[in-house]
């Protein structure tokens, strides 16, 4: 059975990582439960000229048009206050959750267990149920508060995966750099991919 991955897009810079990750998850036949913040809509427009609708049904249709090879029933989109969504309950947790990009505000909310919105609640569920939570914080430099929140989450079982690309694979484009980071995320949640040549592999 294909894994179910909850993917949350938040208001940090780095929307190309999030949308490429969504594309790869759908291409791998994963079931994706997509959540996004209002700030993520602003970032998507700023960084990618991509207008992510506020209504989940409209967003789902737009994304399926963007990724036409995806199986439609593999993508579900939920609103920020949609408390009857499966991800809101420990009785129906996803296999894994990724917050990419992850804003410092979202990271702080998860670290403190606030559950003020569906993204924070879904992350809380994933942690308490012992599932994989991967956070991709796109900020620099990190303040002491940021680092303490990350340490708290790491101790709780989350994976902190800053989008720090390597260059040993000789990237030729921005897309190559994006794919390097997305590949690391996919590795963490056990999804197969062919985005790049691995260290030690023959060219």
Residue 198 lies in a domain: no
C-alpha 129, offset from chain centre: 18
Residue 77 to residues 25, 33, 52, 157, 171, Cα–Cα distance (Å): 14, 6, 12, 26, 33
Q: Which of these ranges, 89-93, 111-115, 138-142, 167-171, has the smallest mean pLDDT?
A: 167-171
Residue 202 lies in a domain: no
Residue 200 lies in a domain: no
Answer with the residue of higher pLDDT: 165 or 199: 165
Residue 41 lies in a domain: yes
Residue 88 lies in a domain: yes
Give me the number of domains the chain comprises.
Answer: 1
Q: Which of 105, 99, 53, 104 is nearest to 79 (CA)?
A: 53
- The whole-number pLDDT of residue 203 equals 63
Give the model confidence (pLDDT) of 115-125 as tens digits.
999 999 999 99
Q: What is the pTM of this model?
A: 0.97
Residue 13, domain CATH: 3.40.50.1950
**Mean pLDDT value across residues 190-198:** 92
Residue 179 lies in a domain: yes
Q: How confident is the model at residue 198 (pLDDT cuts 50, 70, 90)?
A: confident
Give the model confidence (pLDDT) of 59-74 as tens digits.
999 999 999 999 999 9
Could you tell me which residues come within 8 angstroms of residue 148 by beta carbon, excluding any fewer than 6 positions away? none
Angle (CA) 97 185 146, round 5°: 75
């Amino acid at each position: 059975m294909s894994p179910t991955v909850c993917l949350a897009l938040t208001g940090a810079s780095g929307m190309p990582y999030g949308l490429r990750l969504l594309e790869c998850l759908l291409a791998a036949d994963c079931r994706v439960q997509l959540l996004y913040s209002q700030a993520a809509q602003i970032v998507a427009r700023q960084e990618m000229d991509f207008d992510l609708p506020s209504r989940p049904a409209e967003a789902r249709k737009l994304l399926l048009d963007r990724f036409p090879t995806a199986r439609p029933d593999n993508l579900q989109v939920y609103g920020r206050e949609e408390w009857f969504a499966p991800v809101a309950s420990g009785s129906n947790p996803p296999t894994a959750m990724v917050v990419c990009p992850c804003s410092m505000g979202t990271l702080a909310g998860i670290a403190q267990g606030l559950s003020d919105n569906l993204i924070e609640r879904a992350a809380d569920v994933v942690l308490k149920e012992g599932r994989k939570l991967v956070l991709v914080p796109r900020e620099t430099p990190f303040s002491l508060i940021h680092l303490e929140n990350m340490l708290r989450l790491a101790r709780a079982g989350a994976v902190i995966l800053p989008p720090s690309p390597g260059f040993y694979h000789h990237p030729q484009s921005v897309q190559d750099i994006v794919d390097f980071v997305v590949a690391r995320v996919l590795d963490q949640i056990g999804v197969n991919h062919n985005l790049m040549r691995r260290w030690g592999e023959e060219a």
